[in-house]
Chains A and B, each alone.
Chain A
Amino acid sequence: MDRNDVELEKEVPLHDGFFRMVRLHLRHRLFAGGWSPTMTREVVRHGTVAAIIPYDPVRDTVILIEQFRAAIFAAGDPQPWSISIAAGMIEPGESAEEMARRETLEETGCTVGRLEKASEFYSSPGGSSQHVTLFCGEISTEGAGGLYGVADESEDIKAFVKTADEAIAMADSGAIDNAVSILGLQWLARNRDSLRARWT
């Protein structure tokens, strides 16, 4: 089915702050034929995100970042700092590629060379419109690491280098606990040999 199989009856604003939340009243076509009754769905209208696996094909290393996440604190997690790959919201007028390069520089200090799209996905499509474009970007991790982030945006980021094997093991063991990073490191585990052949 596609978008034409949905009838939006109305959209009610619920909150309009940093995030925007709406309630959709809609009907959609059913697999068995006919139409559903009117249903309501609360949805956060979220900006588009670009994320990047910053990979050094010569040293077979990645750079990871650690930062505070208020949502993980709100979940009651004893460890509300999260280890991840670089990611951020795409600004209006900016391409996903430009954003991936800018964000990698801001969050890790690394300049990106070659850049390949790895995947696109919705983080949590039941209740959020957030969409992520994931790249793998070529960097050099020589001398990389330290404290980064845009203070204006209240970012306080610790960047550090791991071998690809160590980072993949961190995703397996739960030390890396967020979807974008786990998905990205699984992608690296499956594609690193062909990527190294292309990039070295």
Chain B
Amino acid sequence: MPRTTMDKNDVTLESRDALHDGFFQMDHFHLRHRLFEGGWSPSLSREIMLRAPVAAVIPYDPLTDKVVLIEQFRGGMFAAGDARPWSIEIVAGIIEKDESAESMARRETLEETGCTVGRLEQIMEFYPSPGGCSEHVTVFCGEVSTDGAGGIHGVASEGEDIRVFSETTDAAMAMIQAGEINNSIGVIGVQWLALNRDSLRKRWA
């Protein structure tokens, strides 16, 4: 875990006010924190988008060296003006309150790809955008069979419309180079696979 110089005891929360409370929540924080050279900062104003924790899964078949990918519409890319607001990703979803990250990872992989996860390893945790958003991701690598993987999936009542396909690790890396996979979780997951698949295939063979 982070070995930073300071910790949460070096922060004083002065006030916290709701700015928006809808599908997402945004709060306005006023706080001060200890400075590296000693003493305290002036009162800082920070708008923070509050989001539930996420679990993500790299669905990997160690026998074929293939990863299952999904394509879906993304409102954030549409809002950015992107000419192609459909995104190619690994599996990810919000962890429900009474659910472990592991059980969510298995459930979401089944819902989004139709694949059942065998072995499951937690590989990392990170904040996608800590400048203004509290979203936190726990990333797993999950063992799947890509035999027969594909088709259209997703929970229609949640407005999901997901195309499933699989690629070799090398082909997925080429998609990153070409800019076809261009979201942080997907790029980090596939790059992790490229760096770690040899040891993973030994463990899972």
The count of chain B contact residues (Cβ–Cβ below 8 Å) is: 81
Interface contact tally, CB-CB below 8 A: 255
Query: Which of B42, B86, B131, B159 makes the CB contact (< 8 A) with A69?
Result: B131
Per the bound structure, the CA–CA distance linking A123 and B76 in Å amounts to: 10
The reply to whether the CB of B200 lies closer than 8 angstroms to some CB of chain A is no
The reply to whether the CB of A183 lies closer than 8 angstroms to some CB of chain B is yes
Min CB distance B204 to A, Å, is: 19
> Which A residues are CB-close (under 8 A) to B51?
127
Residue of B nearest to A131 (CB): B80
CB of A41 within 8 A of CB of B184, answer: no
Chain B: interface secondary structure?
mixed
Chain A: interface secondary structure?
mixed
Per the bound structure, the CA–CA distance linking A40 and B75 in Å amounts to: 9
Given the contacts A31-B161, A125-B183, A3 and B84 also touching, CB distance less than 8 Å: yes
Query: Which of B7, B19, B76, B131 makes the CB contact (< 8 A) with A15?
Result: B19
CB of A123 within 8 A of CB of B2, answer: no
The count of chain A contact residues (Cβ–Cβ below 8 Å) is: 80
Residue of A nearest to B31 (CB): A70
> Which A residues are CB-close (under 8 A) to B182?
120-122
Query: Which of A15, A41, A45, A121 makes the CB contact (< 8 A) with B26?
Result: A15
B interface with A by C-beta (< 8 Å)? 1-8, 10-11, 13, 19-20, 22-24, 26-29, 31, 33, 35-37, 41-42, 44-51, 71, 73-80, 82-87, 124-137, 152, 159, 161-163, 176, 179, 182-185, 187-188, 191-192, 194-195
